[in-house]
């Protein structure tokens, strides 16, 4: 172990402690950490700023604009009403979880959960149902859906952007679904069978107001969204080009204005992603990634490729539960890439595992933004997430890694 690797490991441990303790906000912690790495000579300034040129980062920003236009159209409210009527008829949450997952596959799942949370609160109050039985499954369903497509979550796009930087093709629109669809189905089955017993029943919940954005009913954002997805899925253009074209059309039509664009793009999230990308480069350039990869390969030598995939997934999901999902993905990408090189195998299965593991955060409220959104409205405690989230994490890990091993490696 070199001095640079030791310093980098110390830096990562310090960063994790800061993020877990929530002394300062994640965006400030990661940006400050990036500056510290440059000042310490562990990262070149050009590499520190490379995240700003990452195609995945810009795609994330553009997709927030498209999702915001769809949300402001008012059509999501009609969707919510239909979903709740189906839940009332069936008496279960399955009619809610399936369409929420489907919607979250094509829209950023954060606005979906933000819009549905107050609607579900009111629905629960009118029927005497504890919101704690409903809101966490809402968040989980959105996470399930986000892992299905390239555009379902920012994590997928960041990994996709890294792959493009490495000269690889990147993910296709529905490539991840071969692993995430069976994992999501297993997750829904688990919640259907055990969710009611494991979820707490608390009548107290903080009321969440409905979004106050002015809404005008129009089909244009939906038409543009479908066109964007179709163009990218058929590989007529890249995902970035499709998102850029969609945003330009929505701007030209007045569905998005300069004022609403400023409100729709989450600048702290972009700071987190850009800073995390720079830190990821430091992990690679200092040799820390290769060192950690060698440890994984040696430790799992008895299980071969399957063992390494399990190890990569486990470490990624641990990182995700205690820091942001994007930071976890960025830290793990160079490690996974180095592990694939040392094994002499295709790195794509490793990147699929990271993309899904980084989003599949079920055991803490801080691991994924949708979990945090429902935390107070559902009246949850930290231990509630552990109780239902840990077994769900294990199910998701086993199904995902098994699917990747079968479909990507031919195991």
The Cα 104–Cα 168 span in angstroms is 26
What pLDDT shows up at residue 236? 87
The Cα 369–Cα 372 span in angstroms is 5
The DSSP code sequence of 280-302 is HHHHHHTTHHHHHHHHHHHHTTT
Give per-residue pLDDT as tens, 352-384: 999 999 999 898 877 777 887 788 788 888 788
What pLDDT shows up at residue 209? 53
In a domain, 349, yes or no: yes
The Cα 215–Cα 225 span in angstroms is 17
What pLDDT shows up at residue 397? 96
For residues 100 and 146, is the Cβ–Cβ distance under 8 A? no
In a domain, 20, yes or no: yes
What pLDDT shows up at residue 94? 73
Q: Which residue's structure tokens are 């927030």? A: 64
In a domain, 211, yes or no: no
For residue 341, what are its two tokens? Answer: 């090189």
For residues 132 and 202, is the Cβ–Cβ distance under 8 A? yes
For residue 80, what are its two tokens? Answer: 């919510």
The Cα 95–Cα 141 span in angstroms is 11
In a domain, 114, yes or no: yes
What pLDDT shows up at residue 64? 80
Q: Which of 214, 211, 228, 212 is nearest to 256 (CA)?
A: 214
Quick one: 180 exposed, middle or buried, by C-beta within 10 A (0-12, 13-18, 19+)?
Answer: buried
The Cα 43–Cα 21 span in angstroms is 25
CB atoms within 10 A of CB 142: 31
What pLDDT shows up at residue 357? 94
**Regions of the chain short of the pLDDT cut 70:** 22, 74-77, 87-92, 203-217, 300-302, 322-323, 411
What pLDDT shows up at residue 153? 85
Q: How many domains does the chain have?
A: 1
Q: Which of 285, 274, 321, 117 is nearest to 209 (CA)?
A: 117
What pLDDT shows up at residue 91? 60
Per the structure, the complete domain to which residue 276 belongs is given by 10-198+216-407
In a domain, 121, yes or no: yes
In a domain, 210, yes or no: no
What pLDDT shows up at residue 237? 86
In a domain, 106, yes or no: yes
Quick one: 209 exposed, middle or buried, by C-beta within 10 A (0-12, 13-18, 19+)?
Answer: exposed
For residues 256 and 218, is the Cβ–Cβ distance under 8 A? no
User: What are the φ/ψ torsions at residue 227 (nearest 5 degrees)?
Assistant: -65, -40
The Cα 379–Cα 28 span in angstroms is 28
The Cα 314–Cα 301 span in angstroms is 16
Whether pTM exceeds 0.85: no
Residue 205 falls in which region: left (phi positive, over 0), alpha (psi -120 to 50) or beta: beta
In a domain, 59, yes or no: yes
What pLDDT shows up at residue 191? 92
């Amino acid at each position: 172990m070199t001095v640079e690797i030791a310093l980098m490991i110390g830096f990562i441990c310090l960063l994790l402690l800061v993020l877990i303790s929530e002394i300062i906000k994640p965006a400030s912690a990661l940006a400050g950490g990036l500056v510290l790495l440059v000042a310490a000579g562990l990262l070149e300034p050009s590499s520190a700023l490379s995240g700003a040129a990452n195609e995945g980062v810009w795609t994330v920003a553009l997709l927030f604009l498209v999702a915001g236009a769809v949300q402001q159209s008012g059509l999501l409210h009609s969707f919510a009403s239909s979903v709740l009527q189906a839940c009332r008829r069936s008496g279960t949450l399955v009619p809610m979880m399936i369409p929420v997952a489907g919607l979250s596959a094509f829209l950023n799942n954060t606005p979906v959960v933000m819009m549905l949370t107050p609607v579900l609160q009111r629905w629960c109050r009118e029927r005497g149902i504890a919101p704690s039985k409903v809101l966490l499954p809402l968040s989980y369903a959105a996470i399930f859906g986000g892992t299905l497509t390239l555009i379902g979550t920012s994590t997928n796009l960041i990994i996709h952007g890294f792959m493009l930087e490495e000269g690889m093709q990147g993910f296709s629109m529905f490539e991840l679904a071969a692993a995430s669809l069976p994992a999501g189905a297993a997750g829904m089955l688990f919640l259907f069978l055990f969710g009611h017993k494991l979820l707490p029943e608390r009548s107290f919940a903080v009321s969440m107001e409905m979004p106050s954005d002015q809404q005008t009913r129009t089909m244009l954002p939906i038409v543009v969204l479908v066109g964007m997805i179709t163009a990218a899925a058929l590989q007529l253009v890249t995902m970035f080009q499709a998102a850029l074209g969609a945003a330009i059309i929505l701007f030209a039509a007045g569905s998005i204005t300069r004022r609403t664009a400023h409100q729709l793009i989450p600048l702290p999230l972009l700071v987190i992603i850009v800073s995390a990308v720079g830190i990821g480069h430091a992990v690679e350039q200092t040799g820390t990634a290769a060192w950690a990869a060698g440890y994984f390969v040696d430790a799992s030598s008895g299980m071969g490729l399957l063992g390494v995939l399990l190890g990569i997934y486990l470490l990624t999901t641990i990182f995700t539960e205690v820091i942001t999902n994007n930071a976890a993905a960025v830290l793990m990408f160079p490690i996974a890439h180095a592990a694939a090189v040392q094994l002499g195998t295709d790195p794509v299965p490793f990147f699929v595992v990271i993309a899904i593991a980084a989003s599949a955060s079920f055991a803490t409220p801080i691991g994924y933004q949708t979990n945090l959104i429902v935390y107070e409205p559902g009246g949850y405690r930290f231990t509630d997430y552990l109780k239902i989230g840990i077994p769900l994490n294990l199910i998701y890990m086993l199904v995902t890694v098994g699917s990747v091993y079968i479909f990507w490696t031919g195991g």
